[in-house]
């Protein structure tokens, strides 16, 4: 088999021919009446079109991250009671107010517990009242005993003096002394009885407090059979149906605050350093609004996702009734400015995979030139290569411009 020899000069000419053919193809496709480039060069046709001088302009440096709308507050409503669910009052997606009923749990045992503890409280209160009355009687007895002792002491002192004066007999003196000792003993017994009664009164009061606590616990258990919304929001998920057995800690509903949403975007680790809390961001959620929303970075999760090598950045957005958890969104972050060459998007000519613009030379002739574009900057397109500052390009009416035609600005 004969070998094929490669000639550098032939390769160079081949490349130039390919570029020329591409330009001719672009020009031919752009002609309104299919005028060939050759004919246009021979007889330039004047086309009225606006022209712009290429110059670098400052533009915001941005990058985009995708994310998901989440509520700031999401709660799992759990059961605090044991029993079968007897009623479910809401469905998924339903909006509820704070303390709105969500479900009921069988409350017969709780009702019985309330009745039993209430009966115990009534008995404890009755016993406490009786103890108080006994204490009052004991105090009265002590007072009476003290009065008797005072009288006995006075009588004894008087009879003692009379006895010493030989006015009364020894027997009368001994009787006065005996009455004094008896009155003192009676006062001691009354005081001991009063102390015992006061102790029982304190115990009765403690039993009343204990019974009141038991009633409060029983009433709390009864209230737990009525499951209510902890705050106003929307029922995101329902995990229970009538007849299901609920137990403490079992999930019944998922509730979320539907007035405070944010978007959680995944930012590549190479760009995470360009975002800070408090930064402004542009948020687009097509399902909620045709226009961009003004967002603010409120939180940056410090740990990266090891599988995606990205950081979760949470961006607060204005409240909107159209927002829903799970919606897809795009977040555009700004990180400074840069001067770049750009052209109006209307100036760009696309033919297949080829992109170009019409450059007007010094003689006013339009020449199609291939360019490499970058980011879209509003209504303009960044040009990475193919244009230089000071050159003039056609910025509108490019559909009627062909390579080689004269431009009448």
Backbone angles phi, psi at 333, to 5 degrees: -105, 140
pLDDT score of 390 more than 50: yes
pTM for the full model?
A: 0.62
**Degrees, nearest 5: CA angle 311-314-319:** 160
pLDDT score of 293 more than 50: yes
**Are the C-beta atoms of residues 131 and 200 closer than 8 Å to each other?**
yes
- Provide, rounded to the nearest whole percent, the portion of the chain with pLDDT above 70: 89
In words, the CATH class of domain 75-106+225-256 is: mainly beta
- Provide, rounded to the nearest whole percent, the portion of the chain with pLDDT above 90: 79
Reported as a single tens digit per residue, the pLDDT across 144-169 is: 999 999 999 999 999 999 989 988 89
How sure is the predictor about 53, in pLDDT bands with cuts at 50, 70 and 90?
A: very high
Reported as a single tens digit per residue, the pLDDT across 240-269 is: 999 999 999 999 999 999 999 999 999 999
Buried b / exposed e over 65-90, threshold 16 CB at 10 Å, is bebbbbbeeebebebbbbbebeebeb
Task: Give me the torsion for CA of 212, 213, 219, 223, rounded to 10°.
Answer: 150
pLDDT score of 25 more than 80: no
Segment 17-41 shows an average pLDDT of: 42
pLDDT at residue number 337 = 86
How sure is the predictor about 44, in pLDDT bands with cuts at 50, 70 and 90?
A: low
DSSP per-residue string spanning 45-61: PEEE--EEE--EEEEEE
**Are the C-beta atoms of residues 137 and 193 closer than 8 Å to each other?**
no
Segment 314-328 shows an average pLDDT of: 93
pLDDT score of 26 more than 80: no
What count of residues does the chain have? 409
pLDDT at residue number 3 = 34
Reported as a single tens digit per residue, the pLDDT across 180-224 is: 999 999 999 999 999 999 999 999 999 999 999 999 999 999 999
Reported as a single tens digit per residue, the pLDDT across 359-380 is: 999 999 999 999 999 988 778 9
Domain boundaries, the chain: 8-59+338-408, 66-73+257-336, 75-106+225-256, 108-223
Segment 77-99 shows an average pLDDT of: 97
Backbone angles phi, psi at 229, to 5 degrees: -75, 130
**Are the C-beta atoms of residues 200 and 134 closer than 8 Å to each other?**
yes
CATH of 66-73+257-336, one of 2.40.30.170, 3.30.930.10, 3.40.1350.10, 1.10.3720.10: 2.40.30.170
Buried b / exposed e over 2-36, threshold 16 CB at 10 Å, is eeeeeeeeeeeeeeeeeeeebbeebbbebbeeebe
CATH architecture of the domain with residue range 8-59+338-408: Beta Barrel (2.40)
């Amino acid at each position: 088999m004969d070998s094929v020899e490669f000639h550098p000069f032939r390769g160079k000419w081949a490349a130039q021919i390919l570029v020329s053919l591409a330009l001719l193809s672009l020009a031919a496709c752009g002609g309104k009446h299919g005028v060939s480039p050759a004919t246009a060069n021979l007889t330039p046709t004047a086309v009225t079109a606006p022209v712009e001088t290429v110059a670098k302009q400052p533009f915001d440096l941005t990058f985009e991250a995708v994310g998901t709308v989440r509520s700031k507050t999401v709660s799992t409503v759990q059961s605090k009671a044991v029993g079968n669910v007897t009623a479910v009052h809401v469905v998924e997606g339903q909006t509820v107010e704070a303390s709105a009923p969500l479900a009921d749990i069988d409350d017969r045992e709780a009702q019985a517990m309330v009745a039993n503890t209430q009966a115990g409280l009534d008995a404890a209160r009755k016993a406490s009242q009786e103890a108080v009355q006994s204490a009052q009687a004991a105090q009265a007895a002590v007072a009476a005993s003290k009065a008797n002792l005072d009288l006995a002491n006075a009588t004894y002192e008087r009879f003692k003096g009379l006895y010493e004066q030989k006015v009364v007999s020894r027997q009368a003196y001994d009787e006065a002394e005996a009455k004094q000792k008896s009155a003192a003993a009676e006062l001691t017994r009354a005081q001991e009885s009063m102390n015992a009664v006061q102790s029982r009164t304190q115990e009765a009061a403690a039993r009343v407090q204990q019974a009141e606590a038991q009633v409060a616990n029983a009433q709390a258990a009864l209230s737990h059979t009525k499951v209510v919304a902890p705050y106003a929001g929307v029922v995101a998920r329902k995990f229970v149906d009538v007849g299901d057995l609920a137990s403490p800690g079992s999930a019944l509903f998922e509730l979320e605050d539907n007035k405070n949403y944010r978007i959680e975007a995944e930012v590549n680790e190479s760009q995470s350093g360009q975002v800070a809390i408090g930064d402004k961001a542009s948020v687009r959620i097509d399902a909620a609004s045709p226009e961009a929303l003004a967002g603010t970075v409120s939180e940056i999760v410090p740990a990266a996702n090891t599988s995606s090598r990205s950081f979760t950045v949470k961006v607060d957005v204005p409240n909107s009734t159209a927002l829903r958890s799970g919606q897809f969104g795009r977040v555009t972050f700004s990180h400074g400015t840069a001067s770049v060459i750009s052209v109006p998007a209307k100036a760009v000519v696309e033919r297949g995979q080829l992109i170009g613009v019409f450059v007007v030379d010094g003689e006013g002739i339009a020449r199609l030139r291939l360019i490499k574009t970058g980011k879209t900057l509003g209504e303009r397109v960044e040009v990475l290569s193919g244009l230089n500052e000071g050159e003039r390009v056609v910025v509108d009416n490019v559909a009627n411009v062909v390579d080689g035609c004269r431009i009448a600005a």
